[in-house]
Structure 1
Amino acid sequence: MHEEQVDIKTPEYVSLQFQPAGLGSRAAALMIDQLLLSIVNILIVVVLFFVTSGNHGIFSMVEINSTLWGIAIIAIFFLNWGYFFALEYFWGGKTVGKRLLGIRVMQENGHSVTLLSSFIRNLLRIIDMLPVSYFIGMVMIFLHSKHKRVGDLVAGTIVVHERRVKGMRKEKAIEKEIRRRSLRKEDLTVEEWELKQLGAKEWNLVKTYSNRFVQLPLAERNQLTKKLAFILYPKLGLDVQDKTYEELEDTLLLLYLALREEWEFEL
């Protein structure tokens, strides 16, 4: 069956093709997220109820501390809103539900979702939820050519499908080299917000470097390593000086491990 595709031109003139996530997958992801939030909300209320009930029995509401309940209500509000905002920004455009359904939020220019766009699209959930049960949001997703709700339109975001390769596959040469060097993504000394400075253009540079890494003669590899380090290191606040070629290589390969989780998927 033919699947709807959207072509996106990034500011770096990289052409990307995506399959927008429709109403079914987005609704299923939202149901999973809401179920998780409901469980947490209920636990908070139950715990607070027992704490504020004191020794007057479970059914006695007279002595409930109104201040604690007020704080709890505010906390529940920020939890339910902040869950989507924080996870989408810090977890590559995904919440738990989106990850399970294989979809993610991204900028319509192909870049990762920004702090501002994540804030705006989730703030406007208030409108998408009107009048009840995300009615406006569902209608917008169903009717819009790119399946956008109001929050997506204002924030300039789009929700797309990821279809990662499943099952057994042959280990790539670069993966063998990374394993030989005992490199792990956790070894990368770069903050998450700094990684978000890198977009599709940088990912394509790192991916091309990694694909050619093993085949290149040592002299050419050293030259390419230094050139790429001078491009990427300043964007991450890293110092190129006084680094050996092996140290530069290790950092670039770690960047490959970190970036591929967000950018290496089939569409």
Structure 2
Amino acid sequence: MNQDQLNIKTPEYVSIQFQLAGLGSRAAAFIIDQLLLMVVNILTLVVLYFVMDGLSSMPFFLMESSLPIAITIIILFIVNWGYFFALEYFYGGRTLGKKLVGIRVIQENGHSITLLSSFIRNLIRIIDSLPTAYFLGIVMIFFHSKHKRLGDLVAGTIVVHERKAKRKKKLTPIEKEIENRGLTKNDLFLDEWTLKSLGMKEWKLISTYVSRFHQVPFEEKSLLTKQIADILFPKIGVEVFGKLESELEDTLLVLFLLLQEEWEFEL
């Protein structure tokens, strides 16, 4: 199993360990995705059939014009390619199949997959599927030391097993504080673009603040809260001016909850 472990050192000199997803788990996820897409494709064809049939007195597949067939091919391509492209970017590197199997796509540096990387790796999926039945992709994943297919090589991505957040039997002091204040992740809405702009540097900053929350004197905590808020709030589009100290603390604690899901993991 050691050969499937990958250690990544971030620009902030933080070492993160991942377990690479092999051919078996990736194939299982792909099969699930293909079954889902098969259902979607059938439904798409049925809808197109009735739409085209309603626009012409001639049966759909007997039309002399090749336009309906071309439109069908284009729509099916967008559905099948867009499924992987959109979900992997907007759903944290996971398609529905990957989510069920427990794997995800990330950048080689450990960060979340970017829009460009998702576009490239899924565009090259066309080549990986050659000559048939995804043969080239299977061979690449099986023999590559990091289980990469061609799309991963070009896009600079890897597929890893999902890491689960640490589960603790007893609440930590900060967890009790958050619970007592009645705070949840729903108290602060951040769109996907904003969340992806917050990296390891921001996570280390907010986690350091949280770890010192009950340890520093009141006056020092007030100053620390203001300093951290001045740094992080502009990045998430939240105003600092006019907010009470308790409001600043609440927002920072909720931000911690949001980033914790992405950055605090256990293999």
TM norm. shorter chain > 0.5: yes
Give the aligned partner of residue 191 of structure 2. 191
Matches of 1:214 and 1:68, distance apart in 2: 66
The 3 A distance-change label for structure 1 pair 69 and 253 is farther
Give the aligned partner of residue 233 of structure 1. 233
1:7 is paired with a residue whose SS is strand
Moved more, 115-124 or 64-73: 64-73
Matches of 1:60 and 1:206, distance apart in 2: 59
Matches of 1:17 and 1:252, distance apart in 2: 27
Matches of 1:246 and 1:200, distance apart in 2: 26
Q: Which residue identity is paired with 1:116?
A: L
The 3 A distance-change label for structure 1 pair 168 and 254 is closer
The 3 A distance-change label for structure 1 pair 85 and 240 is same
TM-score normalised per structure 1: 0.88
2:197 is paired with a residue whose SS is coil
Give the aligned partner of residue 152 of structure 2. 152
Pairwise CA RMSD: 2.8
Matches of 2:165 and 2:16, distance apart in 1: 18
The question of whether the paired residues in 2 share the 8 Å contact of 1:88 and 1:113 is answered with: yes
**Equivalences, count:** 267
Give the aligned partner of residue 128 of structure 1. 128
2:52 is paired with a residue whose SS is helix
Q: Which runs of 4+ in 1 moved over 6 A?
A: none
The question of whether the paired residues in 2 share the 8 Å contact of 1:52 and 1:65 is answered with: no
Give the aligned partner of residue 205 of structure 1. 205
1:196 is paired with a residue whose SS is helix
Matches of 2:171 and 2:65, distance apart in 1: 60
CA deviation map 1:101-126 (0-9, x unaligned): 11111111111111111111111111
Question: How far does residue 179 in structure 1 lie from its aligned partner after superposition?
Answer: 3.0
Matches of 2:64 and 2:182, distance apart in 1: 56
Give the aligned partner of residue 27 of structure 2. 27
Counterparts in 2 of 1:95-114, with a 5 A limit? 95-114=95-114
Give the aligned partner of residue 48 of structure 1. 48
1:74 has 2:65 as partner: no
Moved more, 111-120 or 246-255: 246-255
Percent identity (aligned): 64
The question of whether the paired residues in 2 share the 8 Å contact of 1:48 and 1:69 is answered with: no
The 3 A distance-change label for structure 1 pair 222 and 238 is same
Moved more, 101-110 or 165-174: 165-174
Q: Which residue identity is paired with 1:162?
A: E
Give structure 2 stretches of 5+ with no counterpart: none
TM-score normalised per structure 2: 0.88
Moved more, 217-226 or 144-153: 217-226
Question: How far does residue 56 in structure 1 lie from its aligned partner after superposition?
Answer: 9.9
Matches of 1:212 and 1:106, distance apart in 2: 31
Give the aligned partner of residue 37 of structure 1. 37
Give structure 1 stretches of 5+ with no counterpart: none
Question: How far does residue 143 in structure 1 lie from its aligned partner after superposition?
Answer: 1.1
The 3 A distance-change label for structure 1 pair 60 and 68 is closer
Question: How far does residue 47 in structure 1 lie from its aligned partner after superposition?
Answer: 2.5
Matches of 1:55 and 1:196, distance apart in 2: 44
The 3 A distance-change label for structure 1 pair 167 and 62 is same
CA deviation map 1:144-188 (0-9, x unaligned): 111111111111111111242698843444333333333332332
